[in-house]
């Protein structure tokens, strides 16, 4: 084997694989703990070792209890989370896609200024805005309503940047020109020609927007005081605080099982859409 070959087509290394496998164990350990713990009764949870199975297999019992505890409030939280994700992340994807495309393919006046403002926005800590946003929304009477969560979720500067770079690569100007010569309007071109080409980029943006909305904690924590509007994240933490607070009502098994249920949909989404988001991200990094 020549040197050239060993660099371009190297042999697989068991040592490197073993070292990386250690990291894999670290990554999976807490998830394995969560999965095992979700199969235990409250009693087993407290009495048996963390990674050992409990005396009884209580996973389905736990899931049932999670959904029925406190008049089924968990189901309500799940529904709220879905509402925020569909409207918030969905809206964020639509806005970022249109704006990213507009910035990539039209050379209008003020385009540079838009870029400068967005760059500044990325550098501002999102949570630094939380208190003033809360006060503003409070004056507008929007706190304690779903709008307080949905409206701020609509803006994703990172998503816009991703579509922008993606559209520059994926949408040929010649194609747009041809469509214009055929007499198609700009919106129609966007809907019929561009969207199809942008799909991997759009799926990537959507997926990341879904994750950030699904996982949102700080914003709902300050905006909502009414448990009926909580998303899963805030609700779970409230259960956890109940379990360890004064006069605690021990519902650790529900916190554990609820955590597992919260993770599962996103993990499935990432696994199923792997092909899309990996190509979307790669194209996004061409320009870096």
Residues 66 to 85: which contact another protein by CB under 8 A? none
x-marked contacts with another protein along 183-202 as a string, rule CB under 8 A:
---xx--x------------
Among 60-68, 72-80, 195-203, 209-217, the segment contacting another protein (CB under 8 A): 209-217
State which of residues 1, 108, 182, 247 lies at the interface with another protein (CB under 8 A): 108
Q: In whole angstroms, give the CA distance from residue 122 to residue 218.
A: 18
For residue 248, report the phi and psi dihedrals to the nearest 5 degrees: -65, 140
x/- mask, another protein, residues 128-167, rule CB under 8 A, reads xxxxxxxxx--------------xx-xx-x--xx--xx--
Residue 192's CB: how many other CB atoms inside 10 A?
Answer: 11
DSSP reduced 3-state for 201: helix
- Is 203 a binding residue for another protein by CB under 8 A? The answer is no
**Spatial CA neighbour of 257 closest among 39, 29, 28, 47:** 39
Separation CA 103–CA 176 (nearest Å): 15
What's the Cα-to-Cα distance from 47 to each of 29, 39, 57, 105, rounded to whole Å? Answer: 20, 14, 15, 62
Task: Give the residue, chosen from 56, 68, 192, 215, that forms a contact with another protein under the rule CB under 8 A.
Answer: 215
Stretch that binds another protein, among 7-15, 55-63, 69-77, 195-203 (CB under 8 A): 7-15
State yes or no: residue 177 binds another protein (CB under 8 A): yes
Task: Determine, following the binding rule CB under 8 A, whether residue 249 of this chain makes contact with another protein.
Answer: no
């Amino acid at each position: 084997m020549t040197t050239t070959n060993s660099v371009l087509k190297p042999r697989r290394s068991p040592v490197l694989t073993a070292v990386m496998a250690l990291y894999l164990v670290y990554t999976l350990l807490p998830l394995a703990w969560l999965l095992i713990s979700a199969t235990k009764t409250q009693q087993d949870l407290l009495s048996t070792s963390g990674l050992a199975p409990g005396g009884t297999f209580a996973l389905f019992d736990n899931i049932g209890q999670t959904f029925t505890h406190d008049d089924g409030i968990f189901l309500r939280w799940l529904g709220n989370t879905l509402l925020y994700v569909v409207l918030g992340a969905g809206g964020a994807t639509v806005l970022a896609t249109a704006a990213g495309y507009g910035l990539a393919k039209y050379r209008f006046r003020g385009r540079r200024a838009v870029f400068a403002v967005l760059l500044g926005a990325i550098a501002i800590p999102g949570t630094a805005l939380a208190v003033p946003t809360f006060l503003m929304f409070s004056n507008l009477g929007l706190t304690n309503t779903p709008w307080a969560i949905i409206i701020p979720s609509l803006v994703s500067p990172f998503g816009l940047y991703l579509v922008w770079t993606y559209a520059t690569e994926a949408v040929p100007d010649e194609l747009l020109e041809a469509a214009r010569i055929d007499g198609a309007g700009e919106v129609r071109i966007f809907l019929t020609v561009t969207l199809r080409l942008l799909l991997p980029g759009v799926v990537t943006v959507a997926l990341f927007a879904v994750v950030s909305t699904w996982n949102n904690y700080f914003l709902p924590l300050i905006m909502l005081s009414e448990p009926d509007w909580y998303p899963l994240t805030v609700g779970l933490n409230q259960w956890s605080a109940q379990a360890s607070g004064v006069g605690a009502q021990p519902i650790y098994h529900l916190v554990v099982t609820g955590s597992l249920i919260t993770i599962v949909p996103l993990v499935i989404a990432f696994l199923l859409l792997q092909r899309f988001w990996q190509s979307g991200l790669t194209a996004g990094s061409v320009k870096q």
